Amino acid sequence: VTSSPRPEPRRVLVIIPAWNEEATIAAVVDETRAALVGGNVIADILVVDDGSDDATGRVAEASGALVAHLPVNLGVGAAMRTGYRYAQRLGYAITVQVDADGQHNPADIPALLRALAEGADIVIGARVAGDGAFVARGPRRWAMSLLSGTISRIARTRLTDTTSGFKACGPRAIELFARSYPAEYLGDTVESLVVAARSHLVLREVGVVMRPRAGGQPSHGPARSAAFLGRAVLALGLALTRPRPELRGEPYRRYEELGA
Amino acid sequence: MNLLAQSGYPFALVVSALLLLALFWLLRTQRLREKYSVLWFAVITGWLTALAGVTTPINLVFILAFLVLLVVCIQLSIEISTLEESARTVAEEVALLRLELERRTGKPQSLPGQETDVRQPHTDESPAS
């Protein structure tokens, strides 16, 4: 895999997987750009349009983001892998994934990047109490604490929110995810972390405040909570017993050591 | 026949256990996607209970026929899982190639069938709500 020549190599790529998010995508792109400029981060924004039926792709293009159009809907795992492949091919050192529904506040991106620079391969933006705090109850809550507890143990660090889609990744994580970003249920969050932890990547988390969705429908209703618990247990069990992915590429290097 | 009828339950138990192990192995090596496996976990469980009550020889014929069909269906699920992964990889590659093309030519390419779609012209600066 060769990377295309670019006049000015940029180091950070913000990946926004979007499926039928025409109502919010332009605002998310604009806000992300503003946050990057405000945080003095040189970055490109890539929207991966996951086969949307609405105008998501064109709205994203009009807002000035790079847009990769998946010809059919493949799910968030495939959208993320597309983003990581793009990052790897064009030699981005860092990626940040942000949801297209406006739940994540792009103003937190510099905090994630700082934590990454302090020595981590993956930094998770963990949902904490605050305005629009994420409150889970019943089986969903049990499932989430089971997932967090188990992944914390493998990663040898305390993680409180392993189903967050707000993550920053360094070069080793990009290399791993470009090759094998899980497509299974919960693969985009839980299994990707299990894979990373088992490959001895360094995981950290930073508390971020979630906002209510700016638009679109929540993908989880209360009725699905019990099914979520069952599938979460299966997903975790499978992820833990799969053959360990071998880590290729360079050994871990700090953000500063990557050179300007 | 009679012997098998009497030992129907242990037989069913052993076969079901083997099938469950095979399914788990397939999932582990990513040859079968999880969403197809859930169905087969259910089917095998149902089959186990049905088999426990073998009393007439003709049922053995049904059981064997069902077993063959079950294996065929699992085989097809495996093939679909493989195909899905290939389709996924190809679609990702297409998306990246299209992006690269757009980046080099400096303008978005319309896909066949989209030329006449003027619902949201690309030049429109105000995003649809």
Tell if the CB–CB gap between B122 and A82 is shorter than 8 Å: no
With CA atoms as reference, report the closest residue to A234 among A150, A115, A109.
A150
- ipTM metric: 0.72
Interface of B with A in 96-125 (CB under 8 A): 96, 98-100, 102-103, 108, 111, 119-120, 122, 124-125
Pairs of residues, one from chain A and one from chain B, whose beta carbons lie less than 8 Å apart: 85
Res. B125: pLDDT tops 50: no
Does A143 score more than 60 pLDDT? yes
Question: Chain A: nearest CA to B69, how far in angstroms?
Answer: 26
Whole-angstrom distance, CA of residue B127 vs CA of residue B2: 74
Spatial separation of the C-alpha atoms in residues A120 and A228, rounded to whole Å: 29
Chain A CB contacts of B110 under 8 Å are none
How many Cα atoms sit within 13 Å of A110 on the Cβ side?
11
Q: HEC string of A218-239?
A: CCCCHHHHHHHHHHHHHHHHHH
What residue ranges in A51-172 does DSSP mark as E strands?
66-70, 94-97, 122-128, 167-169
- Across chain A, what does the average pLDDT equal? 82
Paired residues of A122 in beta bridges: A169, A203
List the single range of A151-155, A168-172, B113-117 with lowest mean pLDDT. B113-117
Listed residue (A183, A175, A16) closest to A89, CA to CA: A175
HSE of A217 in the Cβ direction (CA atoms, 13 Å)? 4
Tens digits of per-residue pLDDT, B108-120?
655 444 444 444 4
Q: Are residues A201 and A174 in contact, defined by beta-carbon separation less than 8 angstroms? A: no
Contact A231, A121 (CB under 8 A): no
- Residue B55 is predicted with a pLDDT of 61
Give the rounded percent of residues in chain A with a pLDDT score beyond 70: 82
A82 vs B contacts (CB less than 8 Å): 92, 95-96
Task: Report d(CA A239, CA A185) in Å as an integer.
Answer: 11
A85 pLDDT higher than 50: yes
In this prediction, residue A46 carries a pLDDT of: 95
Please judge whether A74 and B91 are an interchain contact, meaning their C-beta atoms are less than 8 angstroms apart.
yes
Contacts with B33 from chain A: Cβ below 8 Å: 183-184
Q: What distance in Å separates the CA atoms of residue B43 and residue A257, rounded to the nearest whole number? A: 55
Does the reported pTM lie above 0.80?
Answer: no
Contacts of A241 in chain B (CB under 8 A): 28
**Burial state string for A125-144 with b = 16 or more CB within 10 A and e = fewer than 16:** bbbeeeeeebebeebbebbb
Strands lying side by side in the sheet with A167-169: A66-70, A43-50, A12-18, A94-97, A167-169, A122-128, A203-209
Distance from C-alpha of A85 to C-alpha of A65, rounded to nearest angstrom: 17
Range with the lowest mean pLDDT among A161-170, A226-235, B5-14, B86-95?
Answer: B5-14
Q: Is the pLDDT of residue A164 over 80?
A: yes
Question: pLDDT tens for residues A7-61?
Answer: 444 589 999 999 999 999 999 999 999 999 988 888 999 999 999 999 999 999 9
Residues from chain B that touch A238, judged by Cβ atoms under 8 A, are 27-28, 34
What distance in Å separates the CA atoms of residue A105 and residue A89, rounded to the nearest whole number? 27
Contact criterion met (CB < 8 Å) for B91 and A71: yes
How many C-beta neighbours within 10 Å does residue B15 have? 17
Q: Using a CB-CB distance cutoff of 8 angstroms, which residues of chain A are in contact with residue B111?
A: 69, 71
- Provide the pLDDT for residue A260: 38
pLDDT of residue B54: 60
Query: Nearest-CA distance from A112 to chain B in Å?
Result: 26
Please tell me the distance in Å from A207's CA to the nearest CA on chain B.
31
Contact A57, A49 (CB under 8 A): yes
User: In this structure, is the dihedral angle defined by the CA atoms of residues A207, A171, B91 and A65, taken in order, positive or negative?
Assistant: positive
| Token reading at A234 | 């299966």
- A227 vs A6, which has greater pLDDT? A227
Alpha-carbon span A195 to A207, nearest angstrom? 22
Q: Which residue has the higher pLDDT, A232 or A57?
A: A57
